[in-house]
Structure 1
Amino acid sequence: MLAEFGSFIAAHPDCLWRTCRDGHLTASAWIVDAGRTRTLLTHHRKLDRWLQLGGHVDGEADLAAAAMREAREESGLTRLRLVSPEIFDVDRHRIPARGTEPEHWHFDVRFLIEADPAEPLGISEESKDLAWVRLEEVTARNPGESLARMVRKMLPG
């Protein structure tokens, strides 16, 4: 998958902007509690699915910073900690056409971020709901491989 990302970036110098019609880079936050037993998911309003938090980088070349920004905006959390500047996961997925926006690809770069579940959440207009979900229960909300892969990276064994 990293080769696909590299080829896409090389062919699309404007890939940090959502105006890149073939697709663009996005940044996501796989937010976990300190014990690494729960993750924060958003019930995405447009896609009507439970997903990790994240979104468009809007020209921000520091993808970890973009993931942190998206996490703050979409959760209301202020005490977030980037666990590592290393990429935690990558995923390429199709975004369906909506309104005047054509179908396109998101090349999603994901970072591991820690938060305190006791901190109050603030639901943004992009979300129907937010929930701290036990890792073992994530695939009950979204059985897709994208989230399942991140769960597997967190669970022992």
Structure 2
Amino acid sequence: MDRLTLKAQLQKYRTPYEEEAGFIQDFINLTEDPLAYKRERLAGHFTASSWIVNPARTHTLLTLHKKLGRWLQLGGHADGDEDLIAVALKEAQEESGLSNLRLVESSIFDLDKHIIPERPHVPEHFHYDVRFMIEAELKDQLVMSNESISLAWFTFDSVVDMIGYNPSILRMLEKTSKSEILL
């Protein structure tokens, strides 16, 4: 997925979720900035994530992020790579050790614009996170990266109890459940 493909997908992207719909134009506008894929763009930049589910759509793989101290989907910075699908897959493999990851479809699964708190040498900034649904097998061995405190599969029913309220995770869970109904 190159910059033009991303922009075209964003222009066609529709969501019934008000919060998500509210920042689609911000994502489209960001595609015009040549620094959009680099973390050096201090106001905010693209990141890519994988919403990893098992083929039966009963579990999702989440990481307890070391810097943020929250359970999140796997993903990271584009670091200059405009192919956000490749970034999402690379980050998922690096953060989970899974090598048998399968992209469910090449279209955007979810978007989230969120603030990253200030840290030493890094000001507060936005992540414009483009997310893709990825499948993996529950039985495959996980290898936790140094970016995580923990890495675990959660049943869809247990996610809220385990991670608390996170609107973007809840939205992806709901989207996954709705996509199952359509299959």
TM-score by length of 2: 0.83
- Confirm whether residue 138 of structure 1 aligns to residue 138 of structure 2: no
* Higher helix content, 1 or 2: 2
- Where 2:40 maps in the other structure, the secondary structure is coil
CA RMSD of aligned residues (A): 1.0
**Which residue of the partner structure matches residue 28 of structure 1?**
49
- Where 2:31 maps in the other structure, the secondary structure is helix
Counterparts of 1:53 and 1:133, CA distance in 2: 14
Contact 1:49–1:142 under 8 Å retained in 2: no
Contact 1:26–1:54 under 8 Å retained in 2: yes
**Which residue of the partner structure matches residue 153 of structure 1?**
175
**Which residue of the partner structure matches residue 71 of structure 1?**
92
- Please list every run of 5 or more consecutive structure 1 residues that lacks an aligned counterpart in the other structure: none
How many equivalent pairs are there?
156
Question: Offset at 1:116?
Answer: 0.6
Give the percent of matched residue pairs that are identical in Structure 1 and Structure 2: 49
Counterparts of 1:88 and 1:138, CA distance in 2: 19
TM-score by length of 1: 0.96
Question: Offset at 1:155?
Answer: 1.5
Q: Larger relative contact order (C-alpha < 8 A, sep ≥ 6)?
A: 1
- Please list every run of 5 or more consecutive structure 2 residues that lacks an aligned counterpart in the other structure: 1-22
Counterparts of 1:142 and 1:52, CA distance in 2: 14
**Greater than 2 Å deviation, 4+ residue runs:** none
Contact 1:51–1:142 under 8 Å retained in 2: no
Q: 1:15 aligns with which of 36, 42, 47?
A: 36
In structure 2, what residue type is equivalent to 1:153?
K
